[in-house]
Structures are given as C-alpha cells and as structure tokens.
C-alpha cells in the first residue's frame, strides 16, 4: 500500500554543525577518562573492590550496547517497518561495541582479584574447579573474549556501514542483504552474549551455576537498551532533531517494548530465583544465600519493586508512554535499576557483609557510561540521523498505532 508522506530532506536529517550533541564526544570523553582515572586513585589500593566496581560498570555499558545490537538485528530479521526512523539511533548505540574490547584490558589485569579460579594453587585443591579447568582457564577465557569482541565488532560495524551505504545507494538490495545476514548474526549473538555472561558474571562464583544465566543477562541488556533508545530519541527531539519524523506513535511503541521486556526480565529473574529456592539444593542456593544478608537482602527487595513493580504499573497505560517527560522518566528509571541489578550480581562477591557503596562505584559507572555516550554521540554525527533511503522509511513515517 502506498503511504502518503513526503520524505524529509537530506538537510533536515543531518546533525547541524553547531549542535550541542557535536560537543558530546569531547565533553563525555574527557569526563569518562577522568572518572576512570580518578576511580583508580579513589580506590586507594583496594584493588579487589576497584575491579569489582569496574566490572559492574563494564557489564552495564556493554549490556546496553549489546541490547542495541540485538534491536538492530531483530528489526532486519523481522522486516520491521515501524522502527526505521529510530533504527539509526540504535545503530549508533551499538557502534561503540569495539571500545569494550579496550575497556576489557583492565579486567585482564584484575583477573586474580575477580576470579579465584585463576588461582591454580587454589584450583589444585578444589575437585569441582579442577573438573571445570577445561573451560575455566585463563588461556581459553581470553580466546573466548577475543571471539566475542571479534564477532560483536564485526556485526556492529557491518550492519551500521551497510545501513549508511543505503543512505546513498537506496534500493532494496541492501535491505535484503541485511535481512539475510541478520539471521546468522542473531544466532552468533545468542551464543556470545550467553557465554560472555557466564565468563564474566557467573564465574565470579565458579562453584555456582544456572542454565538461565545467559538469558538473565540478555533480559537486562535488552530492556535497558530499549530504555536507552527511548531516552536518546526523546533527548534528540527536545534538542530540535527528528522533528515530525519520530512521532508519538513511535514513542508509544518503544514504551511498549520497555514495558514488555521489564516483564520479561521479571519473568526470567523470578523463574531463576524461584526454582533455586524451591529445590533448595546447597550448590545452587549459595548464590542467593550470599545475597540474603543485611543490606543485600534489602537491595534484592528493592529490585523486585524498582525493576518490576513500579515500572510495571507506570508503563502499563498508554498515556504515560506518550508524554515525553514521563517516558523519559521511565527509561532513566529502568537504566538505573539495570545498573543496580548488575551491582547485585557482582558486588556481593567482594562486600560480603552488606552494601558498601563508595565513590569508586560511582566513578567507574559514570566513567564507562560517559565513554560509551561519547562514542555513540560521535557516531551520531557521522551519518544521517535516519536511514533516509530505506525502502520502508515511508511506512515508518506514516506509522500509526491503532
């Protein structure tokens, strides 16, 4: 069916020369580097605490970028029409993925502080860890990390550059090509994100295991990426971009996705907790037992309310999803709680008696997020703000929710 729309002009979908987003890469880049450097000194020699805080921040930033990658892949796979006007923003949010390979280097230096399976002396006296040595050993761990970053870099670069090429070439051939490649890419994505979650998150407590773990990290990743996408587009619109291109109906849809995946996260988190609680097998309950003390217990309750209960009711109706400030509030809320969720996963391994919030936590989180934002903003300025010759653009521009 035809869509009665006029395509936006080329000038209206470029980031203007003096736009404040043009200053983001420099500002956030400097802030990010300063915060990360400062966090090292703020830790004051407590390397164990520093590396755990840093890992939390790393997994946090990475999860948003990975979620954006998944969003992009899935729009191609499902030949989605509505999302074309926001797809470039998602592509810019996934584009910084290669930087995480660089940000991974500190984890290599901190591996002994983070992962006690790297301590061969200890492993030699632990039959369970001895049995896992075929998987949990430093060499293979690094090889796997290289594979993950290699594939993520390849996927984020390829899908973004092909999409940009379509801006000049137009036509349907590139759409078909991206759709074809999106299927194997999604399979690679599913395996890499699951095993990355196992390598960097689950193996913090190498005795513990859960088949749900990969899905759990994925669930948090996808919901925070949707929230980040929504927030980015809202901000861009507030600053005069994408006017008349992204409409209430698109925001409504992004809001619905944030809502749906908030529920999905809760479903996955509940299923994992519930099955472990019910069966009550000591090998498995150790994870929640460690988090059932003192303020960690309180944080667990807060996660239930804040990562599920409140946003569930807040984002359910259509009104609040269509008002920019309330959707923005929902998005920031979800991203914040996603950080707390990862905090709940990582930090009890070092602060065993309860939450010990410190400046280092804040500085590492702001540092990694700032570097991520700086790069995403840099990529934003490098190409048109929407895939302007995507054959489905008219459909997306005409999109209405009814």
Mark the segment that binds another protein (CB under 8 A) among 1-9, 288-296, 355-363, 366-374: 1-9
Q: Which residue has the tokens 């971009």?
A: 241
Question: Counting contacts by CB under 8 A, is residue 177 touching another protein?
Answer: no
Q: Which residue has the tokens 């797809």?
A: 87
Q: Which of 44, 131, 240, 317 binds another protein (CB under 8 A)?
A: 131
CA pair distance 387, 391, nearest whole angstrom:
9
Between 48 and 132, CB nearer to another protein: 132
Are the C-beta atoms of residues 192 and 79 closer than 8 Å to each other? no
Q: Which of 52, 76, 321, 392 binds another protein (CB under 8 A)?
A: 392
Q: Which residue has the tokens 């939450």?
A: 355
Between 165 and 256, CB nearer to another protein: 256
What letter would DSSP give residue 401? -
- Shortest CB 398 distance to another protein, Å: 4
Between 68 and 245, CB nearer to another protein: 245
- Write out the binding residues for another protein, residues 210-229 only, by CB under 8 A: 210-215
- Shortest CB 360 distance to another protein, Å: 31
CA pair distance 82, 251, nearest whole angstrom:
11
Site string (7-36) toward another protein, x via CB under 8 A: xx----------------------------
Are the C-beta atoms of residues 272 and 212 closer than 8 Å to each other? yes
Mark the segment that binds another protein (CB under 8 A) among 20-28, 106-114, 185-193, 320-328: 185-193
Neighbours of 253 (CB within 10 A): 18
Are the C-beta atoms of residues 233 and 254 closer than 8 Å to each other? yes
- Write out the binding residues for another protein, residues 221-280 only, by CB under 8 A: 243-245, 247, 256, 263, 267-268, 271-272, 274-276, 278-280
- Shortest CB 232 distance to another protein, Å: 21
Between 266 and 299, CB nearer to another protein: 266
- Rounded to 5°, the CA angle 20-229-184 comes to 125
- Rounded to 5°, the CA angle 62-68-69 comes to 90
Question: Counting contacts by CB under 8 A, is residue 125 touching another protein?
Answer: no
Q: Which of 158, 209, 288, 312 binds another protein (CB under 8 A)?
A: 209
CA pair distance 199, 145, nearest whole angstrom:
8
How far lies 296's CA from each of 122, 198, 270, 299, 353, in Å? 27, 22, 17, 5, 8
Are the C-beta atoms of residues 331 and 227 closer than 8 Å to each other? yes
Question: Counting contacts by CB under 8 A, is residue 105 touching another protein?
Answer: no
- Shortest CB 366 distance to another protein, Å: 33
- Shortest CB 400 distance to another protein, Å: 6
CA pair distance 397, 402, nearest whole angstrom:
15
Question: Counting contacts by CB under 8 A, is residue 301 touching another protein?
Answer: no
Are the C-beta atoms of residues 310 and 347 closer than 8 Å to each other? no
Question: Counting contacts by CB under 8 A, is residue 81 touching another protein?
Answer: yes
H/E run at residue 300: helix 294-303
Between 31 and 188, CB nearer to another protein: 188
Residues in the site for another protein, rule: CB under 8 A? 1-8, 79, 81, 127-129, 131-132, 135, 172, 175-176, 183, 187, 190-191, 194, 198, 207, 209-215, 243-245, 247, 256, 263, 267-268, 271-272, 274-276, 278-281, 283, 391-392, 394-395, 397-400, 402
């Amino acid at each position: 069916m035809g869509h009665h729309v006029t395509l936006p002009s080329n000038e209206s979908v470029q980031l203007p020369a003096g736009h404040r987003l043009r200053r983001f890469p420099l500002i956030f880049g400097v802030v990010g580097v300063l915060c990360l450097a400062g966090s090292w000194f703020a830790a004051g020699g407590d390397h164990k605490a520093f590396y755990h805080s840093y890992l939390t921040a790393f997994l946090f930033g990475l999860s948003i970028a990975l979620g954006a990658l998944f969003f992009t892949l899935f729009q191609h796979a499902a030949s989605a029409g509505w999302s074309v006007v926001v797809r470039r923003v998602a592509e810019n949010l996934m584009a910084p993925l290669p930087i995480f390979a660089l940000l991974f280097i500190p984890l290599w230096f901190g591996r002994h502080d983070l992962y006690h399976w790297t301590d061969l002396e200890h492993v030699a006296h632990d039959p369970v860890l001895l049995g896992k040595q075929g998987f949990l050993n430093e060499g293979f761990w690094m090889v796997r990390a290289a594979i993950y970053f290699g594939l993520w870099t390849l996927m984020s670069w390829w899908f973004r550059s092909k999409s940009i090429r379509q801006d000049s070439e137009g036509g349907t051939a590139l759409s078909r090509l991206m759709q074809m490649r999106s299927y194997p890419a999604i399979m690679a994505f599913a395996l890499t994100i699951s095993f990355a979650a196992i390598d960097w998150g689950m193996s913090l407590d190498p005795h513990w295991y859960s088949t749900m773990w990969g899905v759990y990290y994925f669930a948090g990743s996808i919901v925070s990426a949707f929230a980040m996408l929504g927030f980015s587009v809202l901000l861009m619109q507030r600053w005069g971009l994408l006017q008349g291109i992204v409409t209430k109906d698109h925001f409504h849809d992004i809001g619905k996705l944030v809502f749906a995946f908030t529920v999905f996260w809760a479903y996955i988190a509940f299923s994992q907790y519930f099955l472990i609680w019910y069966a009550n097998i000591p090998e498995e309950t150790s994870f929640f037992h460690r988090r059932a003390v003192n303020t960690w217990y309180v944080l667990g309750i807060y996660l239930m309310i804040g990562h599920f209960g409140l946003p569930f009711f807040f984002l359910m109706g259509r009104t609040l999803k269509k008002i920019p400030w309330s959707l923005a509030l929902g998005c920031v809320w979800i991203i914040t709680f996603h950080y707390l969720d990862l905090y709940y996963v990582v930090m009890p391994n070092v602060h065993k008696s309860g939450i010990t919030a410190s400046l280092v936590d804040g500085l590492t989180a702001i540092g990694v997020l700032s570097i991520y934002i700086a790069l995403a903003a840099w990529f934003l300025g490098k190409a048109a703000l929407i895939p302007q010759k995507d054959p489905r653009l008219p459909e997306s521009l005409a999109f209405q929710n009814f």
